Structure 1
Amino acid sequence: MSRTEPTIADGDPQGPGTVEVDSREVGKIARAAFVGTVLEWYDFFLFGTASALVFNYLFFSNADDTTATLAAFATFGVGFFARPFGALLFGRIGDKLGRRPALILSIVVIGMATGLIGLLPTYDSIGLWAPVLLTVLRLGQGVAVGGEWGGATTMAIEHAPADKRGRYAALIQIGSPVGTLLSSGVFALVLLMPEETVDSWAWRIPFLLAFPFLGIALWIRLKVEESPVFRALAAEADNDAEEQGSLTELFGSYYRQLILAVSAALLGIGGFFVLTTYVMSYATTALGMARQDVVNATLLAAVCQIFINLIFGRLGEKIGPGRIIGWGSIATALLSYPVWMMIDTANVALLTLAVCIGLSVVTISYSVSGLLLSELFPAQLRYTGIAIGSNVAGTISGMLPFVAAWLNSSGEQPSAWPGMLILVVVALISAAGGFLGERHRVRDEVVLEATDAE
Structure 2
Amino acid sequence: MTQRSSPRSTAPVHVSSKDARRIAGAAFVGTALEWYDYFLFGTAAALVFNRLFFTDLDATAATLAAFATFGVGFAARPIGAFVFGIIGDRFGRRPALLVTIVMIGVATGLIGVLPDYLAVGVAAPVMLAILRLVQGLAVGGEWGGAVTIAVEHAPIEKRARYAALVQIGSPVGTLLSSSAFALVLLLPAEAFDAWGWRLPFLGAFPLLAVALYIRFKVEESPVFTQLVQQEERVKVPALQVFTKAWGRLLVAIAAALLGVGGFYLMTTFVVSYGSNTLGVDRGVMVNATLVAAVLQIPMTIFSGRLAERFGPGRMTLFGALLTAAAAFPLFWLIDTQNPIGIIAAVSIGILLITLAYAVTGALLTDLFPPHLRYSGVALGYNLAGAISGFLPLIATAFLASSGNQSWSAALLLVAVSLITAVGGLIGERLRIRDAVVTADTERSPA
Q: TM-score range by the shorter chain?
A: over 0.9
In the TM superposition, what is the alpha-carbon distance from 1:327 to its structure 2 partner? Answer: 1.0
Q: Which of 11, 16, 41 lines up with 1:17 in the alignment?
A: 11
Partner of 1:143: 137
Partner of 1:6: none
Partner of 2:332: 341
Q: How far apart are the structure 1 equivalents of 2:152 and 2:82?
A: 20
Q: Which of 335, 345, 354 lines up with 2:345 in the alignment?
A: 354
- Residues 191, 198 of structure 1: 8 Å contact kept: yes
Partner of 2:313: 322
The reply on whether 1:83 has 2:73 as its aligned counterpart is no
- Residues 323, 438 of structure 1: 8 Å contact kept: yes
In the TM superposition, what is the alpha-carbon distance from 1:210 to its structure 2 partner? Answer: 0.3
Secondary structure of 1:450's partner?
A: helix
Partner of 2:91: 97
Q: Which of 304, 309, 316 lines up with 2:300 in the alignment?
A: 309
Which moves more between the two structures, 93-102 or 304-313? 304-313
In the TM superposition, what is the alpha-carbon distance from 1:410 to its structure 2 partner? Answer: 2.4
CA 1:34/1:284 → structure 2, altered by over 3 Å: closer, same or farther?
same
Q: Which string of whole-angstrom CA distances, capped at 9 and with x for unpartnered residues, describes residues 118-167 of structure 1? A: 01000000000000000000000000000000000000000000000010
Q: How far apart are the structure 2 equivalents of 1:245 and 1:389?
A: 16
CA 1:447/1:266 → structure 2, altered by over 3 Å: closer, same or farther?
farther
In the TM superposition, what is the alpha-carbon distance from 1:17 to its structure 2 partner? Answer: 2.3
Partner of 2:386: 395
Partner of 1:9: none
Partner of 1:10: none
- Residues 160, 447 of structure 1: 8 Å contact kept: no
Say how many residue pairs are matched: 439
- Residues 398, 409 of structure 2: 8 Å contact kept: no
Q: How far apart are the structure 1 equivalents of 2:76 and 2:27?
A: 22
Partner of 1:419: 409
Listed as ranges, the matches of 1:112-261 within 5 Å are 112-236=106-230, 239-241=231-233, 243=234, 245-261=236-252
- Residues 164, 304 of structure 2: 8 Å contact kept: yes
- Residues 94, 100 of structure 1: 8 Å contact kept: yes
Secondary structure of 1:439's partner?
A: helix
- Residues 327, 414 of structure 2: 8 Å contact kept: yes
The reply on whether 1:52 has 2:46 as its aligned counterpart is yes
The reply on whether 1:277 has 2:268 as its aligned counterpart is yes
Q: What letter corresponds to residue 166 of structure 1 in structure 2? A: A
Q: Percent identity?
A: 56
Q: Which string of whole-angstrom CA distances, capped at 9 and with x for unpartnered residues, describes residues 35-57 of structure 1? A: 00000000001100000111101
The reply on whether 1:443 has 2:433 as its aligned counterpart is yes
Q: Which of 356, 360, 380 lines up with 1:369 in the alignment?
A: 360
- Residues 274, 400 of structure 1: 8 Å contact kept: yes
Q: Which string of whole-angstrom CA distances, capped at 9 and with x for unpartnered residues, describes residues 107-126 of structure 1? A: 00000000000010000000
Q: How far apart are the structure 2 equivalents of 1:391 and 1:248?
A: 16
In the TM superposition, what is the alpha-carbon distance from 1:246 to its structure 2 partner? Answer: 2.3
The reply on whether 1:433 has 2:396 as its aligned counterpart is no
- Residues 326, 431 of structure 1: 8 Å contact kept: yes
Secondary structure of 2:41's partner?
A: helix
Q: Which string of whole-angstrom CA distances, capped at 9 and with x for unpartnered residues, describes residues 153-190 of structure 1? A: 00000000000001000000000000000000010000
- Residues 326, 435 of structure 1: 8 Å contact kept: yes
In the TM superposition, what is the alpha-carbon distance from 1:407 to its structure 2 partner? Answer: 1.5
Partner of 1:293: 284
- Residues 159, 447 of structure 1: 8 Å contact kept: no
Q: How far apart are the structure 1 equivalents of 2:441 and 2:310?
A: 25
- Residues 245, 384 of structure 1: 8 Å contact kept: no
The reply on whether 1:38 has 2:38 as its aligned counterpart is no
Secondary structure of 2:438's partner?
A: strand
- Residues 166, 314 of structure 1: 8 Å contact kept: yes
Q: What letter corresponds to residue 441 of structure 1 in structure 2? A: R
Q: How far apart are the structure 1 equivalents of 2:131 and 2:377?
A: 24
Which moves more between the two structures, 23-32 or 383-392? 23-32
Secondary structure of 2:113's partner?
A: coil
Secondary structure of 1:20's partner?
A: strand
Partner of 2:395: 404
Partner of 2:4: none
Aligned CA-pair RMSD: 1.5
Partner of 1:3: none
In the TM superposition, what is the alpha-carbon distance from 1:433 to its structure 2 partner? Answer: 0.4
Q: How far apart are the structure 1 equivalents of 2:429 and 2:131?
A: 40
Q: What letter corresponds to residue 249 of structure 1 in structure 2? A: Q
In the TM superposition, what is the alpha-carbon distance from 1:452 to its structure 2 partner? Answer: 6.6
Q: How far apart are the structure 2 equivalents of 1:244 and 1:320?
A: 32
In the TM superposition, what is the alpha-carbon distance from 1:447 to its structure 2 partner? Answer: 4.5
Query: Given the two structures, how large is their TM-score scaled by the length of structure 1?
Result: 0.95
Which moves more between the two structures, 437-446 or 90-99? 437-446
Q: How far apart are the structure 2 equivalents of 1:210 and 1:362?
A: 27
Q: How far apart are the structure 1 equivalents of 2:343 and 2:218?
A: 39
- Residues 15, 379 of structure 1: 8 Å contact kept: no
Q: What letter corresponds to residue 293 of structure 1 in structure 2? A: V
- Residues 23, 150 of structure 2: 8 Å contact kept: yes
Q: Please, which runs of 5 or more residues in structure 1 have no aligned partner?
A: 1-12
Q: Which string of whole-angstrom CA distances, capped at 9 and with x for unpartnered residues, describes residues 186-219 of structure 1? A: 1000001111110010100000000000000000
